[in-house]
Amino acid sequence: MGITAVGVQLLFGLLAVAALAASVWAWPLLSGRTWRSVLGRVGVLAGNQILTLVALGLVANAYFGFYGSWGDLLGTEGDAAPPIVAGDGRTAASGRPGQGVTEVGQVALPPGTAGRLEQVVISGGESGISSPGYVYLPHEYFEKKYAGRRFPVILALTGYPGDARNLITRLNLPAMAAKSVAGKRMPPTIMVLMRPTVVPPRDTECVDVPGGPQVETYFTRDLRAAVAASYRTGLDARSWGVFGGSTGGYCALKMSMRHPEAFSAAVSLSGYFRAAVDVTTGDLFGGSARLREENDLMWRLRNLPVPPVSVLVTSSERGESGYADTRAFLALARDPMRTASLILPSGGHNFNTWNREIPQALPWLGERLHAPAAPGEHPAQAGGRAVRQGRK
């Protein structure tokens, strides 16, 4: 059974309870002063604590979506992708071997959500990285009147280590997008739903690691090229936005600020502003102080030209440790960068808080993206809304 299966959680929960009951019954037998009795008591206490921690860890993992499988936890997931085909069955003519979108299957959407959800593997020829995810196609994608139209794209990222399914089951992004389109709050938009952990179990913070995985290249170049080759979209940054929470929020801000030629707008839900460096990341910068600074968003605003992108950051006055940094980031931002903020009176670094923010944050991003012009069509005739130029 999988690591997130309810049966696994129940099994270890029952084992923890049974071990506790057995310990209470056997404790008098271990009450002597001999070394065997002492070791027995230590073993009983250690065993109970281990089983209890495992049971609680399994429940927490299933709730927060840290790891999606045993191989994901142990770092043994294979990264080989199946043969490259496009999401609609066409060959993904990317021009680079090993790059494209492979459709694994279709996934059921929540009742009442129009459109199609495809489970995919997206492979990058330049970075050499392949990673699974989901592509949500709005129902307009299949309508006759949209047959010649191209669509804007939102890349949505989880936190670390994350599970892309949480973007569907916990944050309801496809359902929220469909609702926002139906309410004329955003144009019909393709969504690519992934986690930033594309080389598990390492947390790369979406960095091109010197001598290591080129994750920034994967998201800003390979993924966009593969999706554009497989679906009716384009490569113009005005038609691409990036959305994320926690680590995904940091990645969203960083990739839009470092690569305005790739993404024109970003949303960061409880994101931070400089790359974390710990045992999960290893050495991300190869000892380069300059590379570390370039991945520090506060440093960029103080020392480099400000990119012409639109960003929305969210936080809470009480309950989130990053509130002060969020305010500092907003204070440093200046033209031509456009900023907006969504600050709750109280909240936390969790799905409940983000679900309160998404009904405003997702349409905010969608309405700032242009639909790419169809072949032979003037950009001004394309669908979608223009990027707003006013600051918030």
pLDDT in tens, 7-52: 878 888 888 888 888 888 878 877 777 888 888 888 888 888 898 8
Closest to 162 in 3D by CA, of 82, 69, 283: 69
Asked whether residue 120 is domain-assigned, the answer is: yes
DSSP tally for the chain: helices H, then strands E: 12, 9
pLDDT tens-digit map of 206-240: 999 999 999 999 999 999 999 999 999 999 999 99
User: Is 388 contained in some domain?
Assistant: no
Within-domain flag for 1: no
Confidence of residue 94 (pLDDT cuts 50, 70, 90): very low
Query: To 10 degrees, what angle do helices 173-182 and 351-366 make?
Result: 40
Q: Could you tell me the CATH number of the domain that includes residue 275?
A: 3.40.50.1820
pLDDT digits (tens, 9 = 90+) for 278-320: 999 999 999 999 999 999 999 999 999 999 999 999 999 999 9
Say yes or no: 174 and 254 in one domain: yes
* Whether residue 87 is found in the same domain as residue 19: no
Instruction: Tell me the C-alpha distance between 130 and 132, whole Å.
Output: 7
Residue 392 resides in a domain: no
Q: What residue spans of 136-222 are helical by DSSP H?
A: 166-169, 173-182, 215-217
With CA atoms as reference, report the closest residue to 281 among 193, 350, 212, 223. 212
Checking DSSP bridges between strand 240-245 and strand 153-157, what pairing results, if any? parallel
pLDDT tens digits, 173-183: 999 999 999 99
Residue in 309, 319, 276, 281 with CA at minimum distance from that of residue 295:
276
CA distances in angstroms from 339 to 75, 159, 239, 312, 364, listed in the order given: 38, 22, 18, 6, 11
pTM over 0.75: yes
Q: Which domain holds residue 200?
A: 81-381
Same domain, 37 and 95: no
